[in-house]
Amino acid sequence: MSREPTGMDELVDHWTVLDDERDLVLEKRGGAQRLGFALVLKFYTRHGRFPRGRAEFSDEVVEFVARQVKVSGAEFGLYEWAGRTIERHRGQIRAHLGFRECSVADADKFTVWLTTDIAHAERNADRVREELLKRLREESVEPPTADRVTRMVRSALHNAEENWFLTVWERVPDAVRGRVLALVGEESEMAAAPGDEEDGDEESVLALVKSLPGNVSLESMLREIRKLRAIRAVGLPTGLFADTAPKVLAGWRQQAVVESPSHLRRRSPQSRLTLLAALLVEREREVTDTLVDLLRQHRPSAGDRRAGADQPVCAGGEHHLLPPRRAGPGASGHDGAVGGGGVQGGHPGPAAGGAGGLRGRDLPGSA
C-alpha cells in the first residue's frame, strides 16, 4: 500500500531541526549517524515514541532533514537499528527532551489510572489506548512496547468492568438479586420451551422482556402493559445506574440480549446481575415510550372495547389502559426506577401500589 506524500506544512512544522537540536546532531561522527540521529530525534518529538525502522519515514521527510544536516538522504540506509549506537542515541534523546523509560511501577500506576478514570466510562479499546498514550506524553514517560500497551489497556478494561459488576451487586438488595438471577434460571428456560409459545402464560419473563412490540392493536398494547408490569415487578432500586455512562449501559444491555440464558448462567453472579439489570432498565424506558406511541395511535373498535372491558382504565380517558405510577422517587426514568411487586412461579405478579402503569405525564391528554 503506497504512502501518502508528506506535505510542506507537515515538514516545516514537525521536521525542522531546531538550533538546540542541531548542536546534538553535529556532535555525531559520520553522515549516517548524523542523519539517523536527527530523524529519530524529530520522530520522537512528533510521536512521543521511537521509530521501529526505516519504513516509518517517508522519502520526503528523509530528504527534508538530510538537506538541513547537509548529508545525502542515501546515508540513512546505513543507519543501524540495533546495537550500542542507537541505544546511546535514544538515551541522549530522552535526556534532551526530559523523558524517561516506562518502569514496572509506572505501568502499574498508569493501569490503575486507566481503570478508575477512563475505562469505567469508555469501553472502546482504541480510545482507551489513545488516552493512555496522551497521559504518558503529558508525564514525559516513554510509551512501553506495543504489546505491553495492549496488555495495560486490556487489564484496565477488565478491572473497570469487574469493579462495576461488584458496585451494582452491592446496590441491589438480596431479595431483588434473587428475582433478577431467576430470569435465567433453569425453570425460566423450561417455561420458554418450544411448543409453549401459543400459551402466553407459559412465556418466560426474559423472553417477554426481550420481545419487540407488534402492530398497533389492543392486543399489542396489552402485551406491552404485561411486559412493563413484569419489568417493574422485579423491583430494581431507583437510580441503580445513575452514574453509569449511557454507552456502557447500552453495551451491557446488548450483551444480555444476544447471550442465551445458558451463556449468562456461566457468568459470575455479579456479571449476570449487572447485564440483566441493564436490560430491564433500558427496556422499561423503551416499553414506556412504545406504550405512549401505541396509545396515541390506537383507536379501538367496538370489538376491541368489549375485549378490553376488564382492563383497568384511567380516569383520563378510555385509551388510558393503566393507572399512572405513583409520584415520587420510584418514577420510571433512564436510571432504572422499577416498581415493587414480585415474580411468582416465573410469571410477573401485580406491581405494588399500581406501579405497573404509565406515569401520568406520559399519557395522552395528561396535563
Average pLDDT over residues 61-90: 94
Sequence-distant (≥ 6) Cβ neighbours of residue 334 within 8 angstroms? 246, 281, 285
Give the tens place of pLDDT for each residue, 100-141: 999 999 999 999 999 999 999 999 999 999 999 999 999 999
Sequence-distant (≥ 6) Cβ neighbours of residue 322 within 8 angstroms? 225, 228, 291, 312, 314, 356, 357, 358
257 backbone φψ class: left, alpha, beta (φ>0; ψ -120 to 50): alpha
Residue 77's nearest CA partner among 31, 29, 27 is: 31
Buried-exposed string 72-98: b where 16+ CB fall within 10 A, e elsewhere: ebebbeebeeeeebbeebbebbbeeee
Residue 156's nearest CA partner among 197, 193, 196, 108 is: 108
* Residue 302, pLDDT score: 53
Q: State how far the alpha carbon of 7 is from the alpha carbons of 4, 43, 70, 76, 78, in Å.
A: 9, 16, 21, 21, 26
Q: State how far the alpha carbon of 297 is from the alpha carbons of 105, 185, 216, 283, 287, in Å.
A: 62, 37, 7, 21, 15
Confidence of residue 366 (pLDDT cuts 50, 70, 90): very low
Confidence of residue 199 (pLDDT cuts 50, 70, 90): very low
* Residue 148 neighbours by CB distance under 10 Å: 12
Confidence of residue 171 (pLDDT cuts 50, 70, 90): very high
Distance CA 257, CA 167 (A): 22
Pick from 106-110, 223-227, 282-286, 307-311: least confident:
307-311
Query: Looking at the predicted structure, is the pLDDT value of residue 320 above 80?
Result: no
Distance CA 232, CA 355 (A): 7
Residue 85's nearest CA partner among 142, 144, 23, 33 is: 33
Give this prediction's pTM. 0.69
- Chain-wide mean pLDDT for the chain? 81
* Residue 86, pLDDT score: 94
Distance CA 106, CA 192 (A): 52
Bridge partners (DSSP) listed for residue 141: 100
Q: Where are the beta strands (DSSP E) in 52-202?
A: none
* Residue 40, pLDDT score: 96
Average pLDDT over residues 147-167: 97
Confidence of residue 168 (pLDDT cuts 50, 70, 90): very high
In the block, residue with C-alpha cell 441491589: 172
CB-side exposure of 65: number of CA atoms within 13 Å? 31
Average pLDDT over residues 223-228: 90
Query: Looking at the predicted structure, is the pLDDT value of residue 289 above 50?
Result: yes
